[in-house]
Structure 1
Amino acid sequence: MPRRIGMLIFPRLTQLDMTGPYEVLARLPDTKVELVARTLEPVTTDRGMQIVPTVTYETCPPLDIVMVPGGPGQQDLMEDEAALAFLRNQAAQAKYVTSVCTGSLVLGAAGLLKGKRATCHWAAIEHLAPLGAIPTKERVVVDGNVVTGAGVASGIDFALALAAILDGEQVAREIQLQIEYDPDPPFDGGSPKTARPETVAALTARLAALSEERRVVAARVGRKLGV
């Protein structure tokens, strides 16, 4: 039987959170990647792209790796009992439970990050603590069988790190070369550590309303979890 990786997709996800890791993990030997959603209807991302699921919560086979991407729709997912039950059931027998960007908040809402080190998008990482996780500002964080990646583009780094865990460094290196992942960004500012202060301030202000929504949901869910 091939290894099975399931990526949860949902309305208003950020597609690169999912498609970056997909490009890496779908190249692993003897591996099948499923796109899991409530129904088989196309899912519309936060930027209007439509992605077609391959299985539903009910038809998804047992997974070896569960992965949750992030995006603005993550707040709704944090209180979606059907999605959370799916994650809990799959995580109970999966070898690895993983996420990219604000997908870690969904794992936290499912009660899967209590006492675990985890990362998230820099503008949302503070919301992990109310869910019982230990916020860790690193690009990829591995804590036992929980692997989390930071914001959006870090999904490729996350997937390569996970590929090395699953099939060894040589396989991961070959995939990295195959997809020519050799970052050379035009600006040295893809992180709050390197971005200009005025750029960080402008983006923080732009994201303030979304961050407040996430804070409220995380606090409410954390109370339900007894954190």
Structure 2
Amino acid sequence: MTEQKTDIAFVLYENMTALDLVGPYEVLSAVPSATGHFVAATREPVRADNGLTVQPTTTFAELTRPGIVVVPGGSGWRNALEARDLIGWLAAVHPTTSWTTSVCTGSTLLAKAGVLAGRTATTHWACRDVLAGLGVEVSTDRVVFDGDVVSAAGVSAGIDMALRLVARVWGEEAAQRITLGLEYDPQPPFDTGSPDKAPAEMVTALHAAVNAL
């Protein structure tokens, strides 16, 4: 029996963080029955916050029923909160998606679109208070499943989120195979990847820098 095809929308907006997008893309695009789409307000190239440019393959107006949505975070999230086309599209497509997901501060966009009403979600550690201020029950977990919504903490957590989603949708063997293919075997050279582990002064400085964006 042929496996049902799944259209996955990877949302683009100015000054998103590239790894928020590309991490989940590399995982989910490895599923043979999945088709990835880079969706934005227009087909004009979109610049990530560190300069990488991504070419949209479709627009919000054209892609109206994706099976899965992935919303990255980035330094442009505050401006994206005011992007009516983007927020309106998220609100419109969520009722018919199988899964709506976010990485990092992408969860603030889901909150603005009403997707996280009454739900628990996570975000980058430096923006937890912002997400809470949008009426969301905030978790410190790296990946949070709440019904058909999945959120990941900061940046690199998007890879974990995508692998867990693959396991949930296509089975653990598929997720294990993708993990091996990516050689995803984290061995960070510095144990400062969490605010619980990093020096307090570093945490304070980075928190201020992130919230000044």
Provide TM-score, normalisation by structure 1.
Answer: 0.90
The counterpart of 1:120, out of the listed 120, 123, 129, is 123
Q: Aligned partners of 2:31, 2:210: CA distance in 1, in Å?
A: 36
* Post-superposition offset of 1:206: 2.7
* Post-superposition offset of 1:135: 0.5
Aligned to 2:136: 133
* Post-superposition offset of 1:196: 1.8
* Post-superposition offset of 1:201: 2.3
The counterpart of 1:148, out of the listed 147, 151, 166, is 151
Q: Aligned partners of 1:206, 1:66: CA distance in 2, in Å?
A: 29
Given residue 194 of structure 1, which amino acid in structure 2 is its aligned partner?
K
Aligned to 1:165: 168
Aligned to 1:81: 84
Q: Structure 1 residues 60-69 or 31-40, which shifts more?
A: 60-69
Contact kept? 2:127, 2:211, Cα under 8 Å: no
Count, aligned residues: 210
Q: Aligned partners of 1:204, 1:76: CA distance in 2, in Å?
A: 19
* Post-superposition offset of 1:61: 4.4
Q: Aligned partners of 1:118, 1:146: CA distance in 2, in Å?
A: 8
SS of the aligned residue for 1:147 comes to strand
Q: Aligned partners of 1:84, 1:202: CA distance in 2, in Å?
A: 31
Deviation digits for residues 140-181 of structure 1 (CA, Å, limit 9, x no counterpart): 000111100000011111110111111011100110000000
Aligned to 2:182: 179
Deviation digits for residues 103-161 of structure 1 (CA, Å, limit 9, x no counterpart): 00000000110110100000001111222211000100001111000000111111101
Q: Structure 1 residues 80-89 or 49-58, which shifts more?
A: 80-89
* Post-superposition offset of 1:89: 1.3
Aligned to 2:53: 50
* Post-superposition offset of 1:208: 4.0
Q: Aligned partners of 1:105, 1:55: CA distance in 2, in Å?
A: 23
SS of the aligned residue for 2:117 comes to coil
Deviation digits for residues 37-81 of structure 1 (CA, Å, limit 9, x no counterpart): 011111011111100011001111411111110011111111211
Contact kept? 1:69, 1:102, Cα under 8 Å: yes
Residue 22 of structure 2 is aligned to residue 36 of structure 1:
no
Given residue 119 of structure 1, which amino acid in structure 2 is its aligned partner?
T
Aligned to 2:100: 97
- Unaligned residue ranges in structure 2 (runs of 5+): none
Cα pair distance change 1:208/1:89, threshold 3 Å: closer
Given residue 108 of structure 2, which amino acid in structure 1 is its aligned partner?
L
What do you get for the CA RMSD once the two structures are aligned? 1.1
Given residue 100 of structure 1, which amino acid in structure 2 is its aligned partner?
V
Q: Aligned partners of 2:211, 2:56: CA distance in 1, in Å?
A: 31
Contact kept? 2:105, 2:127, Cα under 8 Å: yes
Given residue 39 of structure 1, which amino acid in structure 2 is its aligned partner?
T
Q: Aligned partners of 1:10, 1:37: CA distance in 2, in Å?
A: 7
Provide TM-score, normalisation by structure 2.
Answer: 0.95
What's the % identity of the aligned pairs? Answer: 44
Given residue 144 of structure 2, which amino acid in structure 1 is its aligned partner?
V
* Post-superposition offset of 1:195: 1.1
SS of the aligned residue for 2:203 comes to helix
